[in-house]
Structure 1
Amino acid sequence: MAKDFMTGLKSVTAQLPNSTFSELEKIKKEIVVVEELRQFITPLSSDELSNLESNILKQGCKDPLAIWETTQKVLDANSDNPEKVVYVLIDGHNRYSICQKYAIDFKIVLLQFESIEQVKDYMIDYQLGRRNLTPEQMSYFRGLRYNREKGIQGKYDRTEKEGDFSEILATEFKVSPRTIKNDGNFAAGIAKLAPELQQQVLAGNINTSRSHIQNLGRDETIESGTLTSLNPFKENETDLVKVSDESINRKKEIAKLVISISTKSDYLALVQKVKELKKFI
């Protein structure tokens, strides 16, 4: 990728003063995890997580955790203590969890950004720079970037460019503009899932088709973070994805209308049913 992540890392840390050992230890104890940022971290499969835990237990935590040094008011404008310094974990969530579990020491690197939106952009770029992403994870992070940036120019640490942003990303990632737009729907669909389900799907622990998730992204009737299952046969139907069942039912309705059509109103009703069916196929 065009973005040099190590150069970017150096640029945001260049102005930070050297911290003493005691200061670093104090920071480690005050690290907070912001749930809003979890979606910008690549989830690990069960095997990958097990291997990571085994490696850390044998060799320790070699790679430093990335920490965003900010203030409470940046995270919450209504905070009672706006000037309080906060240390937010932005990379190394799995390593941090393992180190906490087994009381293993770890290193940190402090980063500074002006806003949480800049942090999100940085995290997306960092994930897209990884070489071990699955096709689904790559689609997801490309989609996140497309959805965040389409129509917006001159964003954080990026050159202002003209034109359709899908074409810009398509050139960067050597795919078609249509693929980028599908990625956008895929990322939007993932956002409709509950946080834990998002992680399970992206980690590959749950089998589902990419087109299924893309359909969720196109469905404006589903609120973000509300779907707790991808199984259409569980009892709690308010939380389920019923795209296939809806498609079958609506096709049956259309077939009945075609057979009995005799008036203009019947024809208009048929047209409306066909339009509605498009959402489910």
Structure 2
Amino acid sequence: MSQLLAIDPEFEARCPPLTDEEYQQLEENILEEGLVLMPIIIWNNTIVDGHNRYKIAMGNPGVEFRTHEKFFDSRYQALSWICKNQLGRRNLTPQQKKYLIGQRYKAEKEMHGGDRKSENVKSTDQNDPLISTSHATRARIAEETHTSEGYVQRAEYYADGVDAAEEVLPGIRDDLLVGKYKPKETEVAAIARASPIDRKELAEQLRLTKDDKDKASATQSSGKHRRQDYQEIETAYEELKKQDKKVSEDDALDSLRAAVRTMIRVCNNFIENFPRLVTEQAYKHKLVEIMQEAKSYIKELEGDAK
């Protein structure tokens, strides 16, 4: 008799789905053998790898399967393992790879205590253990996945956006990750930062092709959103000033964090719309020169913090 196993929706969502053809081929192979050759990996009787094999076995009485138990210290460690395991697949799309790296980074940060957004212990001090750990985690994942720290950070924003879109438009996650729709990375990431009432509309726009967007909003929507990008930086501080005197340094840091992320999105929008800024050396040199102002400012802050 086959063992009854639990399926955790979050665990399963970290496993890129098979195409119809791949699923059919897997089922044919299993039925031909009469059993599932590869063991189904479990943790506390919950599947962490082998969801499709399990479903095929349960749908075909008489097909047996084996299990292999993994031991994790926490749910986040299990999520990290799932992401790392799936990243070993050879047929991942660029979107699936980015999503998995982003989810792995999120899980491993939580393994070390998360970002403490709700605690009154935030700090910009480079010696803060949590900030140092987060940086070390990002650097390690970048090295192991042959990417960069910037890529890992953007992957987290992308993963958040994909999940936010899935919450309001079930099924769109798989469509995005297999490349059925190919919106800009910043458009996906923006959904997680949008207000709940705007998320569904933004998620639906991810399904639009470039021609659809050109016909519908070439002059209106893109201009409006770009202006919003600029305004968000100003609004973050203006809204803070309007609040009562109970506003704390922690609240200020939250607003600053949002402003920095908006600035990054604005920069990415310019680069995406004007690719010569990075492909032509003369423009790239000027771009780097401009961004040096931010780098100099950070160095100045680091000096003040010592």
Matched, 1:41 2:15: yes
Matched, 1:32 2:29: no
- Counterpart position of 1:21: none
Shift of 1:250: 7.0
Task: Tell me the matched-pair count.
Answer: 208
Q: Which runs of 5+ in 2 are unaligned?
A: 115-131, 208-215, 236-261, 270-306
- The residue type paired with residue 56 of structure 2 is I
SS where residue 102 of structure 1 aligns?
A: coil
Match of 1:119 among 78, 90, 94: 78
- Counterpart position of 2:37: 62
TM-score by length of 2: 0.55
Relative distance call for 1:273 and 1:188 in structure 2 (3 A) is closer
Render the CA deviation track for 1:83-140: whole Å, top value 9, x for unaligned.
xxxx212211111111122222212112333432222122122222333322221111
Correspondence 1:98-109 to 2 at 5 A: 98-103=56-61, 104-109=63-68
CA distance in 1, matches of 2:69, 2:107: 25
Correspondence 1:58-207 to 2 at 5 A: 58-59=32-33, 60-69=35-44, 87-103=45-61, 104-150=63-109, 153=112, 163-192=135-164, 193-194=166-167, 196-204=171-179, 206-207=180-181
CA distance in 2, matches of 1:201, 1:115: 29
- The residue type paired with residue 175 of structure 1 is T
Relative distance call for 1:153 and 1:35 in structure 2 (3 A) is closer
SS where residue 220 of structure 2 aligns?
A: helix
Does the aligned pair in 1 maintain the 2:160–2:189 contact within 8 Å? yes
TM-score by length of 1: 0.59
- Counterpart position of 1:15: none
Q: Which runs of 5+ in 1 are unaligned?
A: 1-24, 70-86, 235-243, 256-268
- The residue type paired with residue 80 of structure 2 is D
Q: As a proportion of its length, which structure holds more helix? A: 2
- Counterpart position of 2:241: none
CA distance in 2, matches of 1:253, 1:197: 22
Does the aligned pair in 2 maintain the 1:136–1:210 contact within 8 Å? no
Relative distance call for 1:274 and 1:200 in structure 2 (3 A) is same
SS where residue 68 of structure 2 aligns?
A: strand
CA distance in 2, matches of 1:254, 1:127: 36
Deviating beyond 6 angstroms after TM superposition, the runs of 4 or more aligned structure 1 residues are 276-280
Render the CA deviation track for 1:33-70: whole Å, top value 9, x for unaligned.
1223222222212222222222222234211111222x
Does the aligned pair in 2 maintain the 1:40–1:124 contact within 8 Å? yes
User: Which of structures 1 and 2 has the larger relative contact order (alpha carbons within 8 angstroms, sep 6+)?
Assistant: 1
